[in-house]
């Protein structure tokens, strides 16, 4: 614990030595980064980590950021306050969950976010599981339905069956939500689904082949670091393949945040999070629907 506290102190001193931004970043002219990151809030996140998270987000510089495992809820407000103190403007959006870990969306001014809602039955009627969070988003000319997820964890068949039910609820929502004009959909977050191991879960989320899991291309990489030091791709990213032509092919990436913060991977896991951020880039000059 003393070693943990010392490293956190050193990180805070290093962050404090970085120059503050004098004004909010200008809004991008042609592209936008949309990122997801699990903050490792299985237990309550210490308030002092908000500054570290804010510094990391400043490096990510996303137009929209979906955060999983926000615990407690006010951590999202603390991170935004730290960013604003640095002169980096973000807003936050979240709804009350019965689960102790929440999903929040941070977004820059200029991004239009509305109709924030939970997806019905995406918690499998279990108050301890996280409901998927949906919002209507517009960045420049690119408008889409954003779905942030944090599905049931564990490698057991019982857990896979629960994820199947959650994924089917998300698929049903997508079918209903895209019946009108808007066809662009992004599903991002902690899937707790590993390509090659949880195919039934991916099939349940995509029964009519509406989505493309662009994160599949990263199957040999890791976004999640286990306590044993092994890693895997638990986080996922999908787009509606027949409609989201705004996605810039090959831009899906795992951000090596441990390297950015100057930490060995396992130290990063202990001090910051057991997940690395996952992001992709989109053109925002035209809308394809």
pLDDT digits (tens, 9 = 90+) for 194-205: 999 999 999 999
Predicted confidence at residue 181, as pLDDT, reads 86
Predicted confidence at residue 16, as pLDDT, reads 47
Predicted confidence at residue 27, as pLDDT, reads 64
d(CA 172, CA 194): 22
Predicted confidence at residue 20, as pLDDT, reads 43
Q: Does residue 5 register a pLDDT over 60?
A: no
The C-alpha angle 285, 177, 34, rounded to 5 degrees, equals 40
Arithmetic mean of pLDDT, 261-277: 96
With contact defined as beta carbons under 8 Å apart, do 184 and 244 qualify? Answer: yes
d(CA 97, CA 222): 28
The phi, psi pair for 222, rounded to 5°, reads: -135, 135
With contact defined as beta carbons under 8 Å apart, do 285 and 140 qualify? Answer: yes
The phi, psi pair for 134, rounded to 5°, reads: -120, 150
Residue 68: closest CA among 175, 148, 168: 148
CB neighbour class for 56 (10 Å; exposed up to 12, middle 13-18, buried from 19):
buried
d(CA 76, CA 94): 9
Indicate yes or no: pTM above 0.85: yes
Handedness of CA 266, 267, 268, 274 (dihedral sign): positive
The pLDDT confidence band at residue 4, using thresholds 50, 70 and 90, is: very low
Q: Which two tokens stand for residue 104?
A: 């929040």
d(CA 76, CA 53): 10
Fold category of 32-283 in CATH: Deoxyribonuclease I; Chain A (3.60.10)
Q: Which two tokens stand for residue 20?
A: 């503050």
Q: Which two tokens stand for residue 60?
A: 């990510």
d(CA 127, CA 72): 16
d(CA 16, CA 188): 31
Q: How far is CA 141 from the centre of its chain?
A: 22
């Amino acid at each position: 614990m003393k070693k943990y506290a010392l490293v956190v102190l050193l990180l805070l001193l290093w962050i404090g030595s970085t120059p503050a931004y004098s004004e909010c970043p200008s809004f991008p002219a042609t592209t936008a980064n949309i990122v997801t990151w699990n903050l490792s809030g299985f237990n309550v996140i210490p308030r002092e980590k908000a500054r570290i998270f804010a510094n990391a987000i400043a490096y990510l510089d996303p137009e929209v950021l979906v955060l999983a495992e926000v615990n407690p809820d006010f951590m999202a407000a603390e991170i935004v306050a730290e960013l604003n103190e640095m002169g980096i403007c973000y807003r936050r959006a979240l709804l009350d969950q019965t689960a102790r870990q929440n999903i929040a969306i941070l977004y820059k001014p200029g991004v239009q976010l509305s109709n924030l809602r939970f997806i019905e039955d995406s918690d499998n009627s279990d108050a301890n599981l996280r409901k998927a969070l949906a919002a209507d988003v517009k960045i420049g000319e690119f408008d889409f339905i954003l779905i942030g997820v944090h599905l049931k964890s564990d490698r057991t068949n019982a857990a896979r069956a629960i994820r199947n039910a959650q994924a089917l609820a998300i698929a049903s929502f997508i079918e209903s939500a895209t019946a009108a004009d808007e066809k662009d959909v992004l599903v991002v977050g902690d899937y707790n689904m590993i390509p090659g191991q949880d195919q039934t879960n991916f099939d349940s989320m995509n029964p009519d082949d509406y989505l493309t899991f662009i994160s599949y291309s990263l199957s040999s990489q890791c976004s999640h670091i286990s306590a044993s030091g092994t890693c895997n791709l638990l986080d996922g990213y999908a787009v509606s393949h027949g409609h989201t032509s705004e996605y810039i092919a090959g831009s899906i990436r795992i951000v090596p945040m441990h390297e950015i913060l100057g930490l060995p991977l396992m130290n990063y896991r202990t001090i910051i999070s057991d997940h690395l951020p996952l992001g992709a880039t989109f053109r925002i000059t035209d809308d394809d629907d």
